Amino acid sequence: MFRHLRTLQQVSRRTLSSSAPRQLENKVPVKQKMFQEDNGMPVHLKGGATDALLYRATMALTVFGSGYVLYTLIDAALPKKKN
């Protein structure tokens, strides 16, 4: 059992220490320029079509949830008819 743990320890040490660091492109300045641009568009929609879709879905869920809460409150407040 200890032999398996030792092997696992060696393998994990090799994979962590021998991996070459990946160089990623820094996209922050490009995003900063895009969001700081004054084009009359609200900041929550400057991300493109994905942001617009998320915004609309959030608004639809909010309206639906508010309506459902009102329905539930009215349903709980009014007495039920007994036959």
> Any idea how long the chain is?
83
Helices (H) and strands (E) in the chain, counts: 3, 0
- pLDDT digit string, tens, across residues 29-81: 998 998 999 989 888 888 889 999 999 999 999 999 999 999 999 999 998 88
Q: Is the model's pTM score more than 0.75?
A: no
| CA–CA dist 31, 55 (Å, integer) | 19
